[in-house]
Amino acid sequence: MFLKGKSAIVTGSTSGIGLAIARALAAEGASVMLNGFGEADAIETIRAELAAASGAEALHDGADMTKPEQIAAMVDRAHAAWGGPDIVVNNAGIQYVSGIADFPPEKWDAILAINLTSVFHMMRAAVPHMRARGWGRIVSTASAHSLVASPNKSAYVAAKHGLVGLTKTVALETATDGITVNCISPGYVWTPLVESQIPDTMKARGMTREQVMNDVLLAAQPTKEFVTPEQIAAFALFLCREEAKAITGANLSADGGWTAA
């Protein structure tokens, strides 16, 4: 359990990739602050599962990633409970699929706020605590869309490209502080986020569900397989190891070969 005594905040960890990352960190002994929306009973079940797995405390904070003061309060809460946070995983994200002419401005604002600006607020609040302890790991879930575009995803592609620039900048600022800052960029991972964009993509492209699965989603991925949340979690966990201390400012792909094409 190499993370015993360490604490982590994982945003957007009530579902999908974030939940898998929270489970992986807890399995190595970290105290984990879950974050994200969902049914209270389901969240409590996850929280209790993580506490049992880690042998440490697990908490849930419902901070809305569009609200800077709630992000800062969540960091304060983790600091008061455990010191740190030693590890921050910026993972909360949403998607909206539409051509530019019809793209609702409020969806642009929400995607930029949750997928990009929240990471600025999180790093701004957490980096001083990491500096004080001389150790830190910041991992953000970017996307293959941080490297390449797809039509009808203007806000998401812009936010994910921006996240890589933010990551590189903070990596340089913290390079001599024992802190690493990296992005993991998955291809398509089978989670509720992907499942829920299928109807919109069907509408935007005039396709059947099967056509979206094969001709849009898996068409991009040479392996013809979805990436799994557990594969991304194992990758994030590796970045928290001492052996990974030279990896900083990187945007690391786990996309089944998508961005090699």
DSSP H stretches of helix in 134-228: 154-173, 192-205, 209-211
Among 186, 233, 235, 248, binds ligand NAD (CB under 6 A): 186
**Using CB under 6 A, which residues numbered 110 to 129 contact ligand NAD?**
114-115
Contact string (CB under 6 A) for ligand NAD, positions 192-231, x = contact: xxx-------------------------------------
Is 188 among the catalytic positions?
Answer: no
Smallest Cα–Cα separation from 204: which of 103, 71, 69?
103
List the one residue from 57, 64, 177, 200 that touches ligand NAD (CB under 6 A): 64
136 binds ligand NAD (CB under 6 A): no
- Rounded Cα–Cα distance for residues 24 and 79 (Å): 21
CB of 67 to ligand NAD, least distance (A): 8
Q: Closest approach of Cβ 65 to ligand NAD, in Å?
A: 3
Identify the residue among 65, 130, 155, 170 touching ligand NAD (CB under 6 A).
Answer: 65
Short-list 27, 154, 153, 146, CA closest to 90: 146
d(C-alpha 75, C-alpha 193), whole Å:
25
Kind and range of the H or E run holding 183:
strand 179-186
Inter-residue contact 26 to 50 (CB < 8 Å): yes
* 261 Cβ neighbours under 8 A, 6+ residues apart: 220, 222
Q: Interface residues with ligand NAD (CB under 6 A)?
A: 11-18, 35-38, 64-66, 91-94, 114-115, 141, 143, 186, 188-189, 191-194
Which residues carry out catalysis? Answer: 156
